A and B are shown apart, each in its own frame.
Chain A
């Protein structure tokens, strides 16, 4: 009985200390932020218009393909990555999956005014221009048509890796995904991206551990929420694609998770059996003790 009382005191004190240095300390160091907004209610987007993909195709071909590749539709890259990074500051994204990755309202708002939609006004001041010009001068309907076209050419399913590659890899590397060949380095060379962003964007290999899923969920959705003034733009991923990106970061940064969770129950069952036998043996040994 006395032993149990001592154990109870030790457990209670341990729990209080744990609560203090983990949940409580974290709540003090990381202020609460609003949950992620995947509807992008604040943007000036489609405003309810539905687009015509056929007309959108004409507009996209005339306005976008001078800089953007659309590999799926046979528009190859205009230049190699190093040259386009030197020309624009950052490698322009391929648009094959844009209609799938990005929220339609966000996409429309981005085409109209990239700086405003991605919340990087603080970065483009004193005459600095965003590499992509705004298309706010177009008709609302034309913007909607282009969005409809991008959606019509996007695949129904993409892999987690593709979501990461298309949405993040222009600026971020994730080197642990391919240490051998280095294919998962960022597309934009370091010197260009440093000039464009102010510093080299971090490698994301361990971000699932260093930031954790809940931080990443609100951060990717709107980086300014956690890091006011950061150069990282809001990219406008849909809830589904953002989840795919985070899953991919988990596949790379916590690659043994599946194996661990598969082995876990078996291991615990073994330990329960061990504990039962250990207690029975203990009871036998102590039957004749004081």
Chain B
């Protein structure tokens, strides 16, 4: 929102408006989030604080959690092989580095990081120097103007998939308004990844290539997310609206089916 261009302004308008759909407290909630009756100066300052203060605090906490999981329960691997990390570390320290399944962070791990980073930075700075406008939305170079709505409003690319889940439900079903259905689906899409570990009902922790049904589920989800992302930017008219509806439905069905799919995999393996 900080560039205060047309797209950031109107995307903020649309997204904050969504909270108006929350039952009972909706309208007050929107005003509370914006700090004003409209997207205005107060909204800008509080979103600034959200991004430079509150979210960094959250990220620090998550980094702490990351270090904890790395050192205490340790990491998984592609074969889901159980490794005795202390024994492997002993092996490494006694000089048997070739047999050991662990490596020290410095200098072995970081050397690979830097090597790959070196290659990536060449590509990255090529874009910075010679394709400066790459992935910047041109519309956002028009100053924010509450009197002029852009022809197409869409969020940043990484939000497009959930935005399309929201837009996918474009018709009323009986007494339920399309807006409300979309909003419920949108809320579902945004929290469902957080409960993923509990949707997986396989008692064993295994990589996807050892779980045939989950493997297929995963790739369908990838394709679905890409289609959602692409159609999240297109104007939702004609056939686009129906494509959006189908992939949004598919997204929800995939997650509703996940507990059964993982269970079936386990059963077939004889683990359940």
Contacts and interface: CB of A to CB of B under 8 A. Distances in A.
Chain B contact residues: over half helix, strand or loop, or mixed? Answer: helix
Contacts of B121: 271, 274-275
26 contacts: A13-B226, A21-B229, A22-B135, A29-B151, A29-B152, A210-B141, A210-B142, A212-B138, A254-B132, A260-B132, A261-B129, A261-B130, A264-B130, A271-B118, A271-B121, A271-B125, A275-B118, A275-B122, A278-B111, A278-B115, A278-B118, A281-B107, A282-B112, A285-B108, A288-B97, A290-B99
A210 B138 contact: yes
Interface in A78-99: none
Interface string A7-22: 0000001001100111
Contacts of B230: 17, 20-21, 24-25
B235 interface: yes
A240 to B, nearest CB: 25
A133 B133 CA distance: 44
A49 interface: no
B114 A278 contact: yes
Contacts of A209: 133, 136, 138, 141
Contact of A288 (B98, B119, B128, B232): B98
B1 interface: no
A28 B151 CA distance: 12
A260 B126 CA distance: 11
B194 interface: no
B171 interface: no
B220 to A, nearest CB: 13
Contacts of A180: none
Chain A contact residues: over half helix, strand or loop, or mixed? Answer: helix
Nearest to B225: A17
Interface of B: 78, 97-101, 103, 107-108, 111-112, 114-115, 117-119, 121-122, 125-126, 128-130, 132-133, 135-136, 138-142, 151-152, 157, 160, 222, 226, 229-230, 232-235
A137 to B, nearest CB: 41
B129 A267 contact: yes
Contact of B115 (A29, A261, A272, A281): A281
B93 to A, nearest CB: 14
Contacts of A17: 157, 226, 229-230
Contacts of A210: 138-142
A211 interface: yes
B226 A20 contact: yes
Given A29-B235, A275-B118, A268 B222 contact: no
Nearest to B119: A275
Interface string A253-290: 01001001101100110011011101101101110111
Contacts, number: 110
**Chain A CB within 10 A, most for which of B78, B114, B235:** B114
Nearest to A208: B141
Nearest to B140: A210
Complex A-B, nearest 4 residue pairs according to Cβ-Cβ distance, in ascending order: A20-B230, A264-B129, A275-B118, A210-B141
A41 interface: no
A201 to B, nearest CB: 13
Given A209-B138, A268-B122, A286 B111 contact: yes
A274 B115 CA distance: 9
A10 to B, nearest CB: 10
Contact of B233 (A21, A267, A290): A21
A29 to B, nearest CB: 6
A286 B116 CA distance: 14
A2 interface: yes
B254 to A, nearest CB: 17
B8 to A, nearest CB: 13
Given A13-B222, A16-B226, A29-B151, A21 B122 contact: no
A65 interface: no
A88 to B, nearest CB: 27
